[in-house]
Structure 1
Amino acid sequence: MSALILLLLVCLAVGVGVAAFSANQRPPSSRSRSGPARSQDTQSELADRYQLRQTFFSSTEATFYRALQAALVEQFVVLAKVRVADVLKPQKNLNRSEWQRAFNKISAKHFDFVLCDKASLKIIAVVELHQSSRDRSDRSKPDDFLSQAVASAGLPRIRFTAATAYLPEVIQSTVAQALK
C-alpha cells in the first residue's frame, strides 16, 4: 500500500512540475511579472498614458532642417529622425543570434537626417547635427558604434555643427565634398 501512495505522490509531483513548466513557456507578451496575463482593460489603461508632443524638432533642429531642406531641395529629399534600422540592416551571413544582437544595437537609435535621391528615393547619405548636449562622455561610445556601422555599410555620414544660422552654399559644398 505504501508503494502505491509513493507512486501517486511521485505522479502528482511530476504533474505539478509539468504544469509549472508549461506555464513558463507562454510568450512573454501573454504573462506579466506579477502573475496572470494582462486584461484588455490594463492594455487600454497603458494606451491612455501618451500625449502628443508639441513639436517634432527642437528649435535647433528645426532651424537646421529648414536650412538643409532649402539648400538641397533641387537634388535631395530630406527625411528627419529616421530609425537606423530603417537605413541599415544586419548582414545576411550572420547566424540568427548574431543577426538579432546586431539588430538590437540599432533598433532604438535614429539618424538626425537622411538624404535620399529626389527621383529614386535611394538613400544617399546620413546627416548628423552636432549639438553641445552630445558632447557628454557617455555619448561617445554610441557615436563610435554608429560611425563604424555607417562606414561598414559604405554610407556617407555628413556632420554639421549646430549654429544659429546656416549658409546654403556651405551646406551644398559640405554635402558635395562628402559625396565625392
Structure 2
Amino acid sequence: MELILFAMISLIVVVALLASRLNDNSFPFPFDRKSAIFTPAEKNFQNLVEQALGPKYRILNRVRLSDIVTIRNGVSSKAGQSAKANADNKYLDFVICDRETMKLLGTLDLVDTQGKGYKMKKDWFVSGALEAASIPHIRIKIKPNYSVDEIKSCIHNRLFGQAPAPTPKIKGRVIPATMMKPRTPKVTNGEVGVLTSVAAKSEHSSNNITAKIPAPRVAALPH
C-alpha cells in the first residue's frame, strides 16, 4: 500500500514538473512580434536623412559595429577576441552608404539629452573604434522637429567636408526662353530705330547735364 501511495505521489510530482515546464514563458520560444521595428524618433529621422541626401545614398538601420570594422593584422589573438566581442554588442543607429557601390561613408547616432537613457552618454569604445578605422561619426540630439536643410548641412559638413549648394527660392512663374517673343522694332518714316523728336530732345538734355557735372575726385588710399 505504501509503495502504491509513493508511486502515485511520485507520478503526481513528475506530471506537475512537466506541466510547469510546458507552461513556463521561457520554454521553448518565448517570443512575440513587436508592434513596430523602429521608434517614432528613428522613423522620422530616417525619413529626413533620406530626403536630405537624395537617391544617391542608402541609409541602413541598427548596424553592428563589428559589421563595419575588422581586426587589424598583427593584433594578438586575445586582444582581437576581446575587441570583437565588444564590437558585437555595439550598434550604430544609422549607416550611410553609396547606393551603387555600398561603400561606407559615415555613421549617425541619435542622442537623447533629456535623460531618457537613449545613448545619452558618448560610448568611448564606439567613438574610439570608428576614429581608429577613419569612419566619420555624427551624434545628433533628438528634438521635436528637424528641418531637411539642418540635416543636410550637418551631414555634408561632417561627412563630405563641404556645405551643400543652397536651393534657389524663386517666387512666381518662370517663363521658358522658347516662349518669350522678341519685341518688334518700331518703324518711323521708313527707318528702323529712329528716335522721335521728344526722345531726341530728352537725350540731348541728359547729355548736356552729364557734361556739366564735373568728374568726382578720388582720394588716395592710405598706405
Q: TM-score range by the shorter chain?
A: 0.5 to 0.7
> Structure 1: any 5+ residue segments left out of the alignment?
1-40
Q: Which residue of 2 aligns with 1:146?
A: 126
Q: Which residue of 2 aligns with 1:50?
A: 31
Q: Which residue of 2 aligns with 1:168?
A: 148
Q: Distance in 2 between matches of 1:54 and 1:73?
A: 29
- TM-score, with length taken from structure 1: 0.68
Q: Which residue of 1 aligns with 2:69?
A: 88
Deviations 1:2-52 (A, max 9, x none): xxxxxxxxxxxxxxxxxxxxxxxxxxxxxxxxxxxxxxx9xxx74521112
Deviations 1:72-110 (A, max 9, x none): 133310000111111112212212211101101110110
Q: How many Å apart are 1:162 and its aligned residue?
A: 0.8
Q: Which residue of 1 aligns with 2:8?
A: none
Q: Distance in 1 between matches of 2:97 and 2:47?
A: 16
- Kept after mapping to 2: 8 A contact 1:63/1:164: no
Q: How many Å apart are 1:135 and its aligned residue?
A: 7.1
Q: How many Å apart are 1:139 and its aligned residue?
A: 6.2
Change (3 A) 1:93 1:72: same
Give aligned pairs, total: 135
Q: Distance in 2 between matches of 1:70 and 1:77?
A: 11
- What is the aligned-residue identity percentage? 23
Q: Which deviates further from its counterpart, 95-104 or 67-76?
A: 67-76
Q: Distance in 1 between matches of 2:48 and 2:96?
A: 14
- TM-score, with length taken from structure 2: 0.55
Q: Distance in 1 between matches of 2:105 and 2:138?
A: 11
- Kept after mapping to 1: 8 A contact 2:112/2:120: no
Q: Which residue of 2 aligns with 1:128?
A: 109
Structure 1 letter corresponding to 2:30? R
Q: Which residue of 2 aligns with 1:79?
A: 60
Change (3 A) 1:139 1:68: closer
The answer to which structure, 1 or 2, has the higher relative contact order (CA under 8 A, 6+ apart) is: 1
- 1:159 is paired with a residue of what secondary structure? strand
1:109 pairs, out of 90, 93, 105, with 90
Q: Distance in 1 between matches of 2:67 and 2:92?
A: 10
- Kept after mapping to 2: 8 A contact 1:77/1:118: yes
Change (3 A) 1:75 1:83: same
